[in-house]
Structure 1
Amino acid sequence: MSWHAARCGLDAEEVRRALGETGVVVIEGTGLSDTAFADFLEELGEMTFTAGETPLDHEPRLNFVSNVGRTKPPRSVFHTDTSYVRQPPAFTALKAERIPDQGGETVFANQFDAYERLSPDLKLRLRGARVLHRVTGVDPGEGQETESWHPLFRRHPVSGRTALFLSTPERCVALELADGSRADDLIATLFEHSTDPSREWRHAWRPGDILIWDNRCTLHKGDHSAVVGDRVLHRGMVAGEAPLPAA
């Protein structure tokens, strides 16, 4: 394991700086209300919302992530949030509302690390490649974006580092090389490479925790495999830019 999350206070500049360095930030035991949570996220940038999600009645800038009332656990698959739009969110944040008695961790894979571990030959072959991301899991509604092409090798706008930028193969439906040829068969291989279990980092939730991550350089999933009890989190997102291709 070559990385871990940063631990910060409720300071927007500190959080923004730490996200650029590590990709994930933990803010412990804040006790923030939903309105205060959303207000803090707005200090990080303009908030955005995934079309098709249901906003909280009392705080429409947020939605909820929950296992309550489900007949089977939610899916647990690594992904980056809302990558099928032209400008995917830069940051996603979760605030703990109800913590299960067991399990329910949020798991991360660092995509700077995933890029750096690619072989020189594969980096050369995939230079300038792009991936078609297509919506899954929600119905955005009429007139909303449902798919977008993004560079496979993404340059981070703050650090300048290169990350492997893809999502679950269900959402990444085509891979086009710089010469216009297709290499769709590589998507599953790259996804497996980028989610190596030996290199993941796991966050075990505690009451009051806030977890913020940079979608431009991480993949994440909720681990619902051994949850006992209710797991309820409130989610907010900060808008991002159109992904920048690596040089």
Structure 2
Amino acid sequence: MKILALETSAKAVSAAITENGVVLASGYQDTGLTHSRTLMPIVKHLFQNTGIAPQELDAVAVAVGPGSFTGIRIGVSAAKGLAFSLDKPAAAVSTLAAMARNAAFAGGLILCAMDARRGQIYNAVFSAEGGVLTRLTPDRAISLAELAEELRPDARPKIAVGDGARLCADFLNQTGIPCQLAPPHLMMQNAMSVALEAEALALEGRLVDAQALLPVYLRPPQAERLRKAERR
């Protein structure tokens, strides 16, 4: 199964093509340029460098959230357009579930963390055993204090991944809950893990059509929050 995966949930942007769990090509950029400017050139180079035609894809995958509101919209729009034009199914991948795959090799608890500001992180907790991940919580916005109290009774080793990993690990360690950081090259979100999660969704029969591909926001956008505040 050939999958094109896109990851635009945070500051960096990446894309990858995988086949049956093997990464054929990937591209990653973290230069501060907007995803609308960098994403599609990366995708174009992947097709050129692999010799794979877009029509050969079996699915288009994208991290649908949580994450940057603008970044997620760009990624989902691009994936929706590609899937629609190619008449291919799509995989709506949780950003947090994808990043958990970065550390699936480690035993214990995988703490997926993205800085959600306002004293919270976007988080999901997975257990890892023998490379197999089991989801323990839904994707959520949670305060670090709440997460610490939830994890305190669990003695299993803990490893944090994601662009909020350092924030999460520092807080937990300061409160007496040992937590390690994933290695630097595995810490951040990346399209390769999005593709691997998409393969799992495909095996479960959970691919969707392009029309059903939508962003997932755990909190309303800031502009909406400001409008509500002004009406009060």
Q: Determine if the TM-score, normalized by the shorter chain, exceeds 0.5.
A: no
Q: What's the TM-score, normalizing by structure 1?
A: 0.27
Name the structure, 1 or 2, with higher relative contact order (CA <8 Å, separation 6+): 1
Question: Greater helix share, 1 or 2?
Answer: 2
